[in-house]
Amino acid sequence: MGFEPSDGLRETLERIREFVDEELIPLEPRLLNEGFLAVEPELAAKREKVRALGLWAPFLPQKLGGMGMRLMDFAYVSEALGRTPIGHYAFHCQAPDVGNMELLHEHGSPEQQERFLHPLARGEVRSCFAMTEPAHAGSNPVWLGTTARSDGDDYVIDGHKWFTTAADGAAFTIVMAVTDPDAEPHARASQILVPLDAPGFSLVRNVSVMGHPGGGWASHAEVRFDGVRVPKTNRIGPEGGGFMLAQARLGPGRIHHAMRWMGVCDRVFDLMCRRAASREQAPGAVLGTKQLVQAMIAESRAEIDSTRLFVLHTAEQIDRHGPFGAKNEISLIKFHAAGVLQRVIDRALQVHGALGMTDDTPIAFWYREERAARIYDGPDEVHKISVAKRILRDYGVHR
Amino acid sequence: MGFEPSDGLRETLERIREFVDEELIPLEPRLLNEGFLAVEPELAAKREKVRALGLWAPFLPQKLGGMGMRLMDFAYVSEALGRTPIGHYAFHCQAPDVGNMELLHEHGSPEQQERFLHPLARGEVRSCFAMTEPAHAGSNPVWLGTTARSDGDDYVIDGHKWFTTAADGAAFTIVMAVTDPDAEPHARASQILVPLDAPGFSLVRNVSVMGHPGGGWASHAEVRFDGVRVPKTNRIGPEGGGFMLAQARLGPGRIHHAMRWMGVCDRVFDLMCRRAASREQAPGAVLGTKQLVQAMIAESRAEIDSTRLFVLHTAEQIDRHGPFGAKNEISLIKFHAAGVLQRVIDRALQVHGALGMTDDTPIAFWYREERAARIYDGPDEVHKISVAKRILRDYGVHR
Amino acid sequence: MGFEPSDGLRETLERIREFVDEELIPLEPRLLNEGFLAVEPELAAKREKVRALGLWAPFLPQKLGGMGMRLMDFAYVSEALGRTPIGHYAFHCQAPDVGNMELLHEHGSPEQQERFLHPLARGEVRSCFAMTEPAHAGSNPVWLGTTARSDGDDYVIDGHKWFTTAADGAAFTIVMAVTDPDAEPHARASQILVPLDAPGFSLVRNVSVMGHPGGGWASHAEVRFDGVRVPKTNRIGPEGGGFMLAQARLGPGRIHHAMRWMGVCDRVFDLMCRRAASREQAPGAVLGTKQLVQAMIAESRAEIDSTRLFVLHTAEQIDRHGPFGAKNEISLIKFHAAGVLQRVIDRALQVHGALGMTDDTPIAFWYREERAARIYDGPDEVHKISVAKRILRDYGVHR
Amino acid sequence: MGFEPSDGLRETLERIREFVDEELIPLEPRLLNEGFLAVEPELAAKREKVRALGLWAPFLPQKLGGMGMRLMDFAYVSEALGRTPIGHYAFHCQAPDVGNMELLHEHGSPEQQERFLHPLARGEVRSCFAMTEPAHAGSNPVWLGTTARSDGDDYVIDGHKWFTTAADGAAFTIVMAVTDPDAEPHARASQILVPLDAPGFSLVRNVSVMGHPGGGWASHAEVRFDGVRVPKTNRIGPEGGGFMLAQARLGPGRIHHAMRWMGVCDRVFDLMCRRAASREQAPGAVLGTKQLVQAMIAESRAEIDSTRLFVLHTAEQIDRHGPFGAKNEISLIKFHAAGVLQRVIDRALQVHGALGMTDDTPIAFWYREERAARIYDGPDEVHKISVAKRILRDYGVHR
């Protein structure tokens, strides 16, 4: 009854939580003040430790070196890791690699798995996913400018992408490109594997996002494909199946994100309470004795608890009925959880006062980075519209 | 996994839902336009039908004529009944009788049960609960002006109450009165049974609430106790135990209310969608094709679904750990669910336009009556403060 | 500099305010508990007093017996009168009569003025305005089902209207009816004067709104026109000019309403502060010492003050540039001020606790009646869309 | 009538606006991607241009080289300059120098003016203001840890401050320090001038704020005073007058900020509309045709317009009655305008989608930097409480 982890999972979560607290959170000050590249070497060592502890890539099948968790269980893990910005990376379940691995595991050919999935699963290389385009609205996923023209046994790819997260230093990307412009909209594009050393590929820049171009895994690149030639065997799944694959990816990916957000909420809620309990507004009178601070704490608790149950419920629905059977829930948690995340971060920042603006806590980091939660994977507005249309279909509205 | 009713309960809910749709909702137009007293006779017949169907008083033990449901199961029933303003009344689980029956069942003496509980359980009489006072803030439940002075084997009760719901026509009340003004605050008051024909009791008026004094069960009385004498054996539980009993009552009562609110949400959401699907804003263009209406639908769905899970989770916690083990959740759902209720009603009303202002749908009724949801059983503000204080206690803040 | 009433106006406002406080507010308890009809006779006497004081119909030209105020000055008066639900009625500037008088004064023929305007201006009769239809969305003012068929020198009117405010007891209505269904949408309808004793007119019912059908001026009727015949000379303005006249009416009408709302805000803000200052939450600790109550007061003050300036600014723009030159502002204050109104009422109600739900203060009255403020004269959503479209036109968006 | 700039001012504003558009906005891409220090040399040239145009330091008396504007007129200028993050700096009215100049001009001794004010007014040096302390809540301005011990004719200053904006490269600071710990709270502190080359002063670090330590004027330093000795003649105003001076400074400073925020709103509103008008969501369908985008535009317009009038009204009140006569308004605009600012920025960012997260527009800069608007000069919560207390004082509540 209810959503509670099994005893075995509970113990695993305990170990993960401990690792996050003792090994990762201590790296945060340097991460926040010096950037990801400054802590990358230390993180590499932490990743080896994680592997040694048997906690590597929890969502990945055991034969690929992971823990073989189902979505529901990984949801809890994602929450536990979300408490620090480097949790998922340390446990090798960071976006966009995690989505790429899922995709290749389920839809990759044996050759693709051998060449692209296995080194990625082992953590020897990184990957990226090139979908968003500066010239086309991400809110309309069937409208793309990037094309993959058939030329004998090859595709020749031309296009301009950005927010190709983690392209900097990646070995390969999966690119979404139009393979048949004359097909019906949802069957126009395919997903194709492209090694980043392929002639014609260029990383234009790491886009400066919220004040920083970032670097390595922690970056969002603008990239170009100028006549990049790859064999057709690099296509994942059938021609024209790109949108379908993207949708299938989004369901579990939404759970990963939303439970990561719950982890962020858990952490900033804790920081907010610590601050409220320790910061004196006057001698002897801590902030936590003020009603306006108390209200922020209570409202946050209610929003987090109800939303967390909703995300877990959605994970369970996906486990039972597949991502297409839980379409509405997947859209609903997208905007609902993102809104809760932003409000909780905002309150925690406010309770910290000037300190909340600094990089002495991770709150300001999440305040700016997670503003994107209401945009990526389709802006809130798009999800609201699409879920309402599906609901109204049952009432006979068909447009 | 998750919160799902058992197959048996599911079937019961189906029957209840059907009864609500076919027998009760058709009474709404008269209820809304002519008031409760106008439909009371017909409702009496419906109540007999409910009894004949074996659906009487679902929360009451079977030996008292009920269905013996645990809280979690009754939560679903409360939701199903909440879809119409007269659902709980028809199934004999209406406030305040339901709380009085629970109280007398768990804490009443055999004599009290014989004299007060049994006729009430059978539906032969109605009862009320006199706690709120016009001169004292309901947000401070330990501060009361009503006293029960000891005089030999009797109490002599003096006081002024209001919002004594359903006093009009009731056989008895339970009154909260100070029995020991010198005890520590939480041990000052006791709960005492008072037949309404006792000399000195007077019903001053049915308070006009949101435009209507109402009548019968659907009324909120101002009452006076002027030297009302009752035997001490009318006291429920130990002397000074009034606050404790009130708190114990509130936990399950909160679930009853909150799930009833979810039933209201379910109904007004359905009405909103029907309206969106049928009302043309221009020839051929129904409201449901407009983004601003779609957003109201999507946001309502997300709020309802997440909140409903939170209430069910709280019910489960109470079933497991008792009301005192789920104190935080009980406070959190109070204000959180009440807020969702109000927003969903507000959106449904807006989508109905001018029709939403009329009594041609139940939306306007709930809009005005359920405004009280943010006030009764302790205003939102009080719950926010108290839950925050409990949370901060774990961080070392003790005031 | 700024928006400040002239010294003369200031003195008039002082007298009005005094009259409201001393003559009208004392009538509120009966109004709220017994309804408009119960206080109508006393109000008739108050109206005579107002006339004797030279404060009758402030917006009406002096030759018609009014004070001849320009819109900006009347805005202040509307605010002062808005502090009680019967202020405008007592000073003979109540909707819908006020709009009808403005319309007839500016666009009525001499005969129409003689027959309809003059008795109305003297307060001998009441009138109504039949525009909204149950079968057509009020948000689309050019789509109507009511027709006025030309038949020689007459129109023959057929149609079904509701929310014909104050039809109960009125002498005549102005009806919006399609005179040329083949014209372009904005030129299809005309406004036509119809005496309510005309054969074929029927008042179906006073619609029950928020629990009450009301009566007399304080009612909203459902009416039918079944072959009602009136001479074409009853048409106001040119044929097909109905929409244009309705628009012209809306601009100043919006100011009347919005400043009336500011008057409501002023009153409920005052009630909220009084309650905060007097209601003890514990012995010696009034509600006003609680931060959550303080925040409600401060947020209300800021919202009221800024919105009031915005409404005054709009009034000034209309005085200067006419209603069509201030279209954006007129739309903006509609939804902005209505939202502020609702939030301020909601907070005042909450601070009053259970008392706020009762009819012992006017707050509950406004809570339910003024919910309509977000609906009448076009729902908020329609104004948001239309103002945004006008703004975006300057950026080259033309649909 | 209303708040409209005089013709002369209007022409000045036109020139300023043009300068901002043609000279400053083109510097933004480098500012946003490379930081303030990268554009400082070019900005120095722009400042000379501004001086040559006779637009230098608009608020400063003409004898000091400024334009001698009263507060109301400077409010408009602040709005015009707020459209770019470097507007105030270019026109030499940037915080904290502007406040320091006002302070020294009104309260500085002739020697202080000669030594500190004049070079600052000429723009030869920069200054800072050391008030906020990491160990004491900024929301309680009378509680400070920094002390200035009397030692003969000198003060010896010890303390720890942060958010000493623009200390990096400044010539001197004004420090708020306790000169008499035994005085009543509001008379304990004094404001004292300290050259930054004084022995014992150290700049610990530029605090990393929202991802960046910044540099030069665009930085917020943590600083220490370890036995810093300055002559008592460096004290501004009377001993114990520090709090009073700080309050006097805040009034006009609040107008500077709030009108700067209105300038930010003006710019991001324009960017939002441009984006809505140009970004296609599907071929031929720009974002601006979507209702959810239209609603964001309309709501922003209403919030900006009403708030702007409220700020101008407050400026006028200060000009008339002084900052202490407009205390309530000054508190009200603080939190009200900051909230509007944040919501408008948030909507503009959302309409920009992924682009909004980047530094290709100034929106993301303001999103993170102006989060502080709800914190600096006293967090919103403090202003709400204090204004409510003042309001309730008129109702007899005195604590």
Predicted confidence (pLDDT) per residue in A267-282, tens digit: 999 999 999 999 999 9
Helix (H) or strand (E) holding C202: strand C201-206
| pLDDT number for residue D123 | 97
Is D139 part of the contact surface with chain C (CB cutoff 8 Å)? no
| pLDDT number for residue C341 | 98
Q: Say how far apart CA C250 and CA C138 lie, in whole Å.
A: 14
Q: Are C97 and C127 in contact (CB under 8 A)?
A: yes
List of chains touching C (3+ CB pairs within 8 A): A, B, D
Is D217 part of the contact surface with chain A (CB cutoff 8 Å)? no
Q: Say how far apart CA A104 and CA A127 lie, in whole Å.
A: 12
pLDDT in tens, A78-112: 999 999 999 999 999 999 999 999 999 999 999 99
- Chain A CB contacts of D376 under 8 Å are 354
| pLDDT number for residue C141 | 81
Q: Span A315-319, mean pLDDT?
A: 92
Q: Are the beta carbons of B353 and C375 separated by less than 8 Å?
A: yes
| pLDDT number for residue A250 | 83
Q: For B322, how many CA atoms within 13 A lie in the half-sphere containing its CB?
A: 4
- Give every residue of chain C whose pLDDT is below 50, as ranges: none
Q: Which of A258, A242, A276, A270 is nearest to A340 (CA)?
A: A258
Query: Tell me, what amino acid is at D243?
Result: F
Listing DSSP states for A125-148 in one string gives S-EEEE--BTTB-TT-TT----EE
Q: Say how far apart CA C162 and CA C224 lie, in whole Å.
A: 9
D290 to chain B, minimum CA–CA distance in Å?
7
What is the torsional sign of CA B4, B6, B7, B11? negative
Q: Are A163 and A207 in contact (CB under 8 A)?
A: yes
Contacts of D26 (CB under 8 A, 6+ apart): none
Give the torsion through C-alpha atoms of A315, A320, A322, A326, to 10 deg.
-60
Q: Say how far apart CA C299 and CA D388 lie, in whole Å.
A: 9
- Give every residue of chain D whose pLDDT is below 50, as ranges: none
Give the torsion through C-alpha atoms of D354, D355, D360, D362, to 10 deg.
-100
pLDDT in tens, B33-51: 999 999 999 999 999 999 9
Alpha helices in chain B (DSSP H): 7-19, 28-34, 36-52, 71-81, 87-90, 97-107, 110-112, 118-121, 242-278, 291-321, 327-352, 354-357, 363-369, 380-393
Q: Which of D261, D380, D369, D249 is nearest to D312 (CA)?
A: D261
- Chain B CB contacts of A388 under 8 Å are 288, 293-295, 297-298, 301
Q: Is A363 exposed, middle or buried (0-12, 13-18, 19+ CB in 10 A)?
A: buried
Helix (H) or strand (E) holding C201: strand C201-206
Is B298 part of the contact surface with chain C (CB cutoff 8 Å)? no
DSSP letter assigned to residue D200: T
| pLDDT number for residue C1 | 54
Is D299 part of the contact surface with chain C (CB cutoff 8 Å)? yes
Domain range annotation of chain D: 7-104, 127-236, 243-393
Query: Tell me, what amino acid is at C243?
Result: F
- Please state whether beta strands C127-130 and C172-178 pair in parallel, antiparallel, or not at all (unpaired): parallel
CATH H superfamily, domain A127-236: Butyryl-CoA Dehydrogenase, subunit A, domain 2 (2.40.110.10)
- Chain A CB contacts of C292 under 8 Å are 291-292, 295
| pLDDT number for residue B244 | 92
Q: Which of B56, B156, B57, B47 is nearest to B98 (CA)?
A: B57
Q: Say how far apart CA D228 and CA B1 lie, in whole Å.
A: 67
Is A2 part of the contact surface with chain B (CB cutoff 8 Å)? yes
Nearest CA in chain B to A295: B384
pTM of the entire structure?
A: 0.97
| pLDDT number for residue C311 | 97
| pLDDT number for residue D1 | 54
Q: Is C140 exposed, middle or buried (0-12, 13-18, 19+ CB in 10 A)?
A: middle
CB count in 10 Å sphere of residue D48: 12
Q: Say how far apart CA B148 and CA B226 lie, in whole Å.
A: 11
Cross-chain CB nearest to C208 (options B163, B207, B359): B359
Cross-chain CB nearest to C306 (options D273, D277, D336): D336
Is C284 part of the contact surface with chain A (CB cutoff 8 Å)? no
CB count in 10 Å sphere of residue C52: 9
Q: Span A313-328, mean pLDDT?
A: 91
Determine what percent of chain B is predicted with pLDDT higher than 90.
93
- Chain B CB contacts of D295 under 8 Å are 292
Q: Are the beta carbons of B209 and C292 separated by less than 8 Å?
A: no
Same fold, A7-104 and A243-393: no
How many helices (H) and strands (E) are present in chain B, helices listed first? 14, 10
A7-104 folds as: Butyryl-Coa Dehydrogenase, subunit A; domain 1 (1.10.540)
Strand partners, D230: D155
Structure tokens at C343: 């939030």
Nearest CA in chain C to A289: C291
- Please state whether beta strands B127-130 and B172-178 pair in parallel, antiparallel, or not at all (unpaired): parallel
Helix (H) or strand (E) holding A259: helix A242-278
pLDDT in tens, B344-383: 999 999 999 999 999 999 999 999 999 999 999 889 999 9
pLDDT in tens, A188-231: 999 999 999 999 999 999 999 999 999 999 999 999 999 999 99
Q: For D125, how many CA atoms within 13 A lie in the half-sphere containing its CB?
A: 17
Q: Are D264 and D366 in contact (CB under 8 A)?
A: yes
| pLDDT number for residue D112 | 98
Q: What CATH architecture is A243-393?
A: Up-down Bundle (1.20)
Q: Best residue in C254, C286, C392, C394 to probe D by mutation, most D CBs within 10 Å?
A: C392
B374 to chain C, minimum CA–CA distance in Å?
8
Cα D384 to Cα A343, B348, C303, D157, D336: the distances in Å are 20, 33, 12, 34, 10
Is C293 part of the contact surface with chain B (CB cutoff 8 Å)? yes
Q: Span B242-268, mean pLDDT?
A: 93
Helix (H) or strand (E) holding A224: strand A218-231
Cross-chain CB nearest to B391 (options A301, A335, A399): A301
Structure tokens at B64: 């008292």
C375 to chain B, minimum CA–CA distance in Å?
6
- Rounded to a whole number of angstroms, the CA Rg of chain C reads 21
Is C149 part of the contact surface with chain B (CB cutoff 8 Å)? no
